Structures are given as C-alpha cells and as structure tokens.
C-alpha cells in the first residue's frame, strides 16, 4: 500500500510539473516552429503567400525539403538597412521608456511602501485599476489628450504656459508617454514588493551609525530594492521593444519600430517569409536581455 501511495504521488507530481511544460510547448515552441518554418520558405502569389515546406511524407522527400530551405529572407534583412534601423530604434525607444518609467515608478512605489496598511491596499488597487479597462481604449484616450486641440493643450493655453499648441501627437514624445503610462504598473508593483519587505530596522541602524536619510537610502534601501527594479525594468523593456499599437496610434508614420515594420510586412507587403524572419530575429534579440536578467538575479539572490 505504501509503495502504491508513493507511485500515485509520483505520478501526481509529474502531472503537476508537466502541465507548465505542456503549456510552453503548445503555446510557445509549436507557434515558434511554425513561424521559423515560414521564415525558411519563399514568397509566392497564392494562399498561403509562401511555398509550404516539410509537407512530404517520405524520408527522401523530407531530406529534399530540408535541402530546399531558403535563407533569402534573412539575407534580405541584412541587406536592407530599414530593418536594422527599426531594431535599433525599437531598442532605443524601449530603453528610454524603461528609464522614464523607473523615474516615475520608484517614488510612487516608495510612497506606497511607507503608507499605512489600509492606504497601501487602496494605492495598490489604484495602480492595478487601469488593467480593468481595455488597453486599446486607454491608448486611444491619449489621442484626445495629446492632439493640438486636446485637453493638454487646452490647459496649457488656458494657463498661459504656452502661446501656441504643442506638437506632441505623432512624435516620439507621444510614444514615450504612451509606453510609460501603459506599462507603469509593471514597474511599480515589483519595486513596491521589494520595498514592502524591507526591514526598517536596517534604516534605524544606519541612522544610529551616523548616516543621513539620503545616504541611508542609497546605501540600504536602493540596493535591497534592486531585484524589484530589475524585474520591473525587464517587464517594461521586453514588451516595449515589440510594441505596435502605441507607436502606430501615437507615433505616426515617422516613428520607426520593429512592431510596425513586422505588421507592414505581414499585411501590407504580404511577404510572410520576411515578416517571419523579422519575428524570429526579434525573439533572439529579446532572449539576450532575458538571459542577462536571470544571471543578474541569480547573483543578487
């Protein structure tokens, strides 16, 4: 009976552990394999708009299909500077947006961690509250705020701070505003979690040893909150690199980001192999910061 119970327990643990792996295989590895397969095909004027590969049943036909794989899409990405510029522009915009989000989120998270327990719950709810509204609707709302006749310019003109409306919409500034606003909770919550667990006796000890409040913050509080800072930074940076909705609605045609380029290749140019190659390289670009984050987090822990 005891052996049977252990066997059942082992099967149960294996099933519980296997569910996340099954989810990963079904919703990540299989779609990625499909996209990779399309990126190695050639464009055709048909439906689908590419030459299918790996559709044969015999081994000889499979080997012939492997030999017939085309890397022209990847060579095309290397020859056309548009794609490199799009990647670099996306990384730059995502990095600047992450820094701006950190500058806004850290004081907010610090104030939340210093509030009373009742007020903390209210503040956390207010941070999460935007998620109850559609992401697309929230981005659309910024169009009415940032346009020349929008609410922001009306306030600035009414108070006399500016004499002419500011050109904010359809610029990179609008993209920064949209990304920081949309992803701010992803930066606030990890930092708040780190600060909320902070042992305040360490600050009292630093004060007893002669540290000023500012020095105690940089010597004690900020280093101990670095895991939350790094987690929030990657939660903002990684999705911001491939963002499409915000640059498309707020940035206009002059804002170059890889998400918009990917959309154009799929739906405007109907070049699925090139679009798939762009997606594969984008994933590889994002794997690098994820790997760095895991190594840094392991060192901190």
Q: What is the pLDDT of residue 204?
A: 79
pLDDT tens profile 202-221: 877 888 788 888 888 888 88
pLDDT of amino acid 67: 62
pLDDT digits (tens, 9 = 90+) for 135-165: 889 999 999 999 888 888 899 888 888 888 8
More confident residue, 100 or 120: 100
Asked if the model's pLDDT at residue 2 lies above 70, the reply is no
Q: Got the DSSP string for the chain? A: -HHHHHHHHHHHHHHHHHHHHHHHIIIIIHHHHHHHHHHTS-B-SSSSSB---S---SHHHHHHHHHT---HHHHHHHH-HHHHHHHHHHHHHHHHHHHHHHHHHHHHHHHHHHS-HHHHHHHHHHHHGGGGS-HHHHHHHHHHHHSTTSHHHHHHHHHTS-SS----TTSHHHHHHHHHHHHHHHHHHHHHHHHHT--THHHHHHHHTT--HHHHIIIIIHHHTHHHHHHHHHHHHHHHHT--HHIIIII-TT---HHHHHHIIIIIS--HHHHHHHHHHHHHHHHHHHHHHHHHHHHH-
Q: What is the band of 301 on the pLDDT scale with cuts at 50, 70, 90?
A: low
pLDDT of 4 reads 55
Which of 29-33, 56-60, 83-87, 92-96 ranks highest by mean pLDDT? 92-96
Task: Give me the percent of the chain exceeding a pLDDT of 90.
Answer: 25
Has residue 269 got a pLDDT over 90?
no
The pLDDT of residue 88 is above 60: yes
Average pLDDT, the chain: 84
Model confidence over 19-78: pLDDT tens digits? 888 888 888 888 888 888 888 888 877 777 877 776 655 555 555 666 667 777 888 888
- For residue 180, pLDDT beyond 90: yes
């Amino acid at each position: 009976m005891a052996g049977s119970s252990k066997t059942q327990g082992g099967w149960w643990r294996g099933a519980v552990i296997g569910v996340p792996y099954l989810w990963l295989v079904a919703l990540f590895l299989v779609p990625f394999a499909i996209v990779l397969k399309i990126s190695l095909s050639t464009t055709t004027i048909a439906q689908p708009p590419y030459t299918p590969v790996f559709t044969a049943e015999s081994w000889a036909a499979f080997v012939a299909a492997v030999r017939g794989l085309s890397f022209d899409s990847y060579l095309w990405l290397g020859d056309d500077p548009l794609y490199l510029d799009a990647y670099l522009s996306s990384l730059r915009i995502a990095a600047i947006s992450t820094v701006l989000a950190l500058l806004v989120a850290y004081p907010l998270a610090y104030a939340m961690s210093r509030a009373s327990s009742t007020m903390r719950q209210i503040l956390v709810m207010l941070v999460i509250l935007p998620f109850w509204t559609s992401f697309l609707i929230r981005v659309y709302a910024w169009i009415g705020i940032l346009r020349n006749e929008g609410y922001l310019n009306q306030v600035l003109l009414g108070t006399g701070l500016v004499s002419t409306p500011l050109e904010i919409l359809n610029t990179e500034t609008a993209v920064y505003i949209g990304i920081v606003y949309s992803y701010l909770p992803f930066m606030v919550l990890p930092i708040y979690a780190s600060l909320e667990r902070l042992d305040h006796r360490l600050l009292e000890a630093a004060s007893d040893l002669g540290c000023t409040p500012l020095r105690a913050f940089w010597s004690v509080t900020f280093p101990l909150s670095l895991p939350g800072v790094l987690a929030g930074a990657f939660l903002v940076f990684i999705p911001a690199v491939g963002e499409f909705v915000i640059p498309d609605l707020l940035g206009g045609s002059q804002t170059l980001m890889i998400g918009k380029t990917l959309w154009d290749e799929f739906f405007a140019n109907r070049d699925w192999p090139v679009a798939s190659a762009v997606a594969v390289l984008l994933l590889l670009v994002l794997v690098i910061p994820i790997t760095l984050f895991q190594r840094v987090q392991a060192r901190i822990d």
